[in-house]
Structure 1
Amino acid sequence: MIIYPAVDVREGKCVRLTQGEFNKETVYSDNPVEMALRWEKAGAQYLHVVDLDGARTGKAQNIAVISEMAVKMGIPVQVGGGIRTIEMIETILCKGIERVILGTSAVKDPELVKRALKTFENNVVIGIDAKDGMVAIEGWEKTSEFTAVSFAKKMEELGAKTIIYTDISRDGMLTGPNLKAMEEMVKAVNIDIIASGGVGKLEDIKNLKEVGVSGAIVGRALYTGDVDLKQAIEIAR
């Protein structure tokens, strides 16, 4: 299992939101690139980056700083937030970023997903963010009519190889991941599931590993010191 430290970028700063709410923001650094390099130095194998401005506005906003991370780091970077066109996917992948995450666009534009997966294959990941089991979109401010599991099956049929599954109610709360939902997702599809939301202690990493996810995204717990990245990676291995 791979541990993905999360760097969320808003207005050029490294921040964390609580349950995706923009008015519940904590700024952890004015320099997201430095923060990214810190996680790499601690042993990270892969970095997870969210362009929060992009997620909210529907157009990627912080690509320059995210690209700088990718260029300066010796590990791959995946990025999500406001990626809604084939042209934008191409632009991002050309800047040294390894994978793009399609979230809202996957719900609203299945044709884009189909085309993106066919063209870029493993460089495209589907982000499924769930609120009470339903898929949320547009920076988590709206809910679609899809259940998370039925949508995941649909994405698998289109050729998706990896899904990032976030339980919004747990995000930034440090209360532990929704293990039941993660296990249900792992059993429902035959592709890699990366768990996101709620990791607050090392035991959560152990529990997620037992559920069978291929990766876990850790955000706030790294910044508060509740989880030590080196130890988390050791457990995940």
Structure 2
Amino acid sequence: MQLYPAIDIRNGQCVRLRQGQFHDQEIYSNSPAKVAKQWEDQGATFIHLVDLDGALHGHGVNEDVIKEITNTVSIPVQVGGGIRTIKDIENKINLGVNRVIIGTKAVENPAFIKEAISMFGADRIVIGIDAKNGMVAIEGWEKISSYNAVTLAIQMRELGVKTIVYTDIAKDGMLQGPNVECTKEMVDATGLDIIASGGVSSLKDLESVNQVNVHGAIIGKALYENRINLEEAIMLFEKK
């Protein structure tokens, strides 16, 4: 199981939100690049970045910070937040990003996903499905759509998508454990590489998602609050 330490960027700082609420945040560092280097030094083999300002505004905002991160670490980086056009994808790749995560646009315009995959390949395009009570949230989680999360994932598979980051919003930033049941449903129904996100608070939580055959898991707040030791988690789950 691939582990992804998460760095959420807002106003150039490393922050964490609770349940995706922009008014409910905690600042952990003024230097996201230093945080990225710290995770790499502890054995991380992939880093997950979110441009929170980008997600809210619909276009890339923290590109200087992302560039600094890709220049600082030698491991691959994936990034989401505000990626809505082919040009946005090109910009991120030019910053040194390995994979881009597309969320809102996948709901609004599936044809865009097909075009992106044909241009950049399925290994570079990841779909972010953020759900609340099984329904897909869009626009920085500010709106709940009428799409069922699993139905959308199956539609994305038909377009050539291989990897999905699946986030349960109600669990995100709450340290209450991931939504294993819904994550298992997503894995079983789609057969895709599912990266579980939201609520991971302990090694036990990682074991729970590992048992439902996820491809990977994103760890955020639990790292910043020292509830999970990254080196230990990597030894247990990545190097098996």
Q: Shorter-chain TM-score: which interval?
A: over 0.9
User: Which residue pairs with 1:202 in the alignment?
Assistant: 203
Q: State how far apart, in whole Å, the 2-side matches of 1:18 and 1:84 are.
A: 24
TM-score (norm 2): 0.97
Given that 1:205 and 1:235 are in contact with CA atoms closer than 8 Å, whether structure 2 keeps it comes out as no
Q: State how far apart, in whole Å, the 1-side matches of 2:67 and 2:103 are.
A: 20
User: Which residue pairs with 2:120 in the alignment?
Assistant: 120
Q: CA deviation at 1:234?
A: 1.6
Q: State how far apart, in whole Å, the 2-side matches of 1:181 and 1:28 are.
A: 30
Given that 1:206 and 1:235 are in contact with CA atoms closer than 8 Å, whether structure 2 keeps it comes out as no
Given that 2:66 and 2:95 are in contact with CA atoms closer than 8 Å, whether structure 1 keeps it comes out as no
**Structure 1 stretches of 4+ moved >6 Å:** none
Q: CA deviation at 1:214?
A: 0.6
Q: CA deviation at 1:233?
A: 1.1
Question: Is 1:59 matched up with 2:94?
Answer: no
Matched residues, number? 237
User: Which residue pairs with 1:172 in the alignment?
Assistant: 173
Q: State how far apart, in whole Å, the 2-side matches of 1:60 and 1:204 are.
A: 32
TM-score (norm 1): 0.99
Aligned residue identity for 2:51: D
User: Which residue pairs with 2:13 in the alignment?
Assistant: 13
Q: Which ranges in structure 1 are unaligned for 5 or more consecutive residues?
A: none
Q: State how far apart, in whole Å, the 1-side matches of 2:158 and 2:112 are.
A: 14
Identity %: 53
Q: State how far apart, in whole Å, the 2-side matches of 1:215 and 1:153 are.
A: 19
Q: What RMSD over aligned residues (CA atoms) do the two structures have, in Å?
A: 0.7
Q: CA deviation at 1:88?
A: 1.0
- Write out aligned runs for 1:15-164 (5 A): 15-121=15-121, 122-164=123-165
Bigger Cα displacement from structure 2, 64-73 vs 149-158? 64-73
Question: Is 1:233 matched up with 2:234?
Answer: yes
Q: State how far apart, in whole Å, the 1-side matches of 2:12 and 2:185 are.
A: 36
Aligned residue identity for 2:215: S
Q: CA deviation at 1:85?
A: 0.3
Please state whether the residue corresponding to 1:96 is helix, strand or coil: coil
User: Which residue pairs with 1:212 in the alignment?
Assistant: 213
For 1:132-184, what per-residue CA distance to the aligned partner results, in whole angstroms no more than 9, with x for missing partners? 10000000010111100000000000000100000000000111100000100
Aligned residue identity for 1:160: V
